[in-house]
Chain A
Amino acid sequence: MPRVRAGDRRFGGFRQPVAIAFGLLFLLPLWFLVAGSFREPGTVPPRTPELFPRPVSTESYGDAFALVDLGRYLLNSLAVAALTVPPAVLVASWAGFALLLLAGRARLVLLAVSFAALMIPVTALLVPRFTLYRWLGLTDTWVPLVAPALLGLSPFYVLLFYWSFRRLPPELFEAARLEDARPFVMWRRLAMPLVRPVTVAVALLAFIASWGNFLDPLVYLFDPDLYTLPLGLRSLAVLDRTNYPVLLAAAVAATAPVVLAFAVAQRFFLHEDRGAGWLGR
């Protein structure tokens, strides 16, 4: 029988409608996006937001894929994300675990450095990064898009892993040390399986960051064959106002993989309740 907390009982009747109201509020832009994409292209745009387009047309989708090479950009974005997400998760989790294993002072210094790195705006690094990649002859390749993954993509992901590992009872790792488990074995056999929801969350965040990355492809890519989806969307934004359903159709095509990824990943967040003693406490 599911356990009911006192707070749930007290606010049970009140919470649900509020949650639904908030859910609808966030769903509304998504609805306008989808509804707008089914509007007939070339017609006069409506003066007020339109809940249901009349007539319903899928012509915009055909136009979007015909006007720009969306299929290629979609595949390019998928390829870049596939090259970015696994190393980002791997490196961020290694770095987070290394922070956990470090002795007091060294750990504090590295935590401070990570926090400091988190504060630096990405745009501040744009010029030095561009200079570096050009000097290395790596502009107009996907390397500048993928390379940050080798640093965990963001210090936030490293810290997220570190905080998750820190929540695990230290005796688990001490028991493993007594059994001759080296750091890599502890990371692989103990730490990672116990922070699976965090791993999925970081993977999802890294995927979204890579998928929606507009600035880096804009700066580093010149060859249209290498373009990713955000650049393709940008080229559709120059269309006439009457053709905005085409842009929305492309936006739907761009958003769908993210929604799908979240739908697949959410079951890892909402994992079963294993009750007291799950972590041996």
Chain B
Amino acid sequence: MARIVLVFGHPRQDSLNAALRDRAAASLRDAGHHVDVLDLGAIGFTPAMTPAERAAYHTPTPVIDPVVAAHAALVKRADALLFVYPTWWSGLPAVVKGWLDRLMVPSVAFSFDDDNRLVPGLRNVRLIGGISTYGSPWRYQQLVGDNGRRILHRTLRTMCARRCRRRWLALYTLDTRTREECAAFVDRAGRAVVRWAAAL
């Protein structure tokens, strides 16, 4: 039984992304895991680091927003982080990046030791998974860098468990997909997340 935090970043509840979120959460719960879904749009998550937060960054209390504090508490106890979002401009939608900017601060994502060296703070996270939809084809994303995935699988991962696993499921050329293909992708997503979480 693993604790999974699912970060969701599409504005519409009638979107394919919302269906992916729902299927992933349901499948994981059916498999006995505990899932906290953070629907950033639905809760009105402030999408950018505020001036007050930036000013507080290097102080002893960098977390000043109660929503950020609540999410941070979940992340500090999580075994896995799962991101479900549409890829826009090869990257994370602003609100998902904003979640990282505001949450992954000193005392949450990392800290400094007595020699002022950076100590990763998310060693409890053993899996970073992502499910994303793309307007572009796979080959194009390889050329431009698939930068949302890169931030999650490389940069964020530096703060997580040393052998933190990375998993990804993508649907490319979204605009040309039929209803059946999208439904099949939702089915695949439900099965994939259960496989990813089985080793936790």
A binds B: no
Q: Which residues of B contact A (CB under 8 A)?
A: none
